[in-house]
Structure 1
């Protein structure tokens, strides 16, 4: 089961990965399909590992990717979520 949240650009329904294959250590080709039967859009996608965000604790010498710059690492820390921050909620409760 995929943990990626892929959305159909046509109808905004979720996309599912029907199948995928590894073509390189850093590249996976996937075939996706919209879950909205009325839409039915299908597409080929590529998922590529491009930069190292943090080093591995079990480094493989054959794995060599460029290290992400500061801006890329900061962007990875930003979370797009509608969930409230639990710590902020607790602080608000204490203030009441």
Structure 2
């Protein structure tokens, strides 16, 4: 299984998600730590859903996000080509459980 790659801006080592919590339907807060023991940098991060890229096949009428502009959707399609990263929020939930 591949993992979402978060890189420490100080030492370029991998960062792990120590824990995370949902604060809103569209917002998840995570606490990250660099795996390099010599660095050990820790940070709070927020992952926010901002735009709808494609409509849901099972829409919830209370979920309302702006539709992404065409240029943003095209860029996402280019970025996803050959990309096998799991969904970020699924990864946050998995790592919070195992931490």
Common topology (TM > 0.5): yes
Distance (whole Å) between structure 1 residues aligned to residue 81 and residue 38 of structure 2 = 28
Counterpart position of 1:27: 27
The residue number in structure 2 matching 1:50 is: 50
Shift of the 80–50 alpha-carbon distance from structure 1 to 2, 3 Å rule, reads closer
2:67 aligned residue: 67
| Distance across 1 between alignment mates of 2:37 and 2:81 | 27
- Offset of residue 75 of structure 1: 1.1
d(CA) in 1 for partners of 2:81, 2:40? 27
Partner in structure 2 of residue 91 of structure 1: none
1:38 equivalent in alignment to 2:51: no
> Pairwise CA RMSD of aligned residues?
2.4
Larger radius of gyration: 1
Return 5+ residue gaps in structure 2 as ranges.
Answer: 84-99
- Secondary structure class of the residue paired with 1:79: helix
Match of 1:17 in 2: 17
Per-residue deviation, 1:81: 8.4
Per chain length, whose mean CA-contact separation is higher, i.e. which structure has more relative contact order (CA < 8 Å, sep 6+)? 2
- For structure 1, the residue ranges without an aligned partner over 5 or more in a row are 84-96
Tell me which moved more, 3-12 or 49-58. 3-12
Q: Distance in 2 between matches of 1:72 and 1:80?
A: 12
Residues of 1 paired with 2:54 and 2:76: CA distance? Answer: 11
